[in-house]
């Protein structure tokens, strides 16, 4: 997902890492701290120190009445 605001493009990544323990395998104990790869320097003009986590829901199992 992305959005534009004041000549700035913000990109949000949605991943399938659903369980905190799985996320911690990638991030370590502090899952709110952003982690970047070395190659990200080629593509990102700045680096946010923190990330935001959201829960997603699957409503496909709800009955259609």
Domains of the chain, by residue range, sit at 18-57
Q: The whole model's pTM is what? A: 0.57
- pLDDT tens per residue, range 1-59: 778 888 888 888 777 766 778 778 888 888 889 889 999 999 888 898 998 877 777 88
- pLDDT tens per residue, range 22-36: 778 888 888 889 889
Backbone angles phi, psi at 3, to 5 degrees: -150, 155
Residues 34/11, Cβ–Cβ less than 8 Å: no
């Amino acid at each position: 997902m992305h959005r534009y605001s004041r000549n700035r493009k913000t990109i949000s990544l949605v991943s399938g890492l659903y369980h905190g323990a799985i996320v911690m395998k990638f991030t370590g104990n502090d899952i709110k701290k952003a982690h970047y790869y070395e190659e990200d320097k080629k593509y990102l003009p700045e680096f946010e120190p923190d990330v935001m986590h959201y829960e997603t829901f699957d409503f496909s199992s709800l009955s259609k009445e």
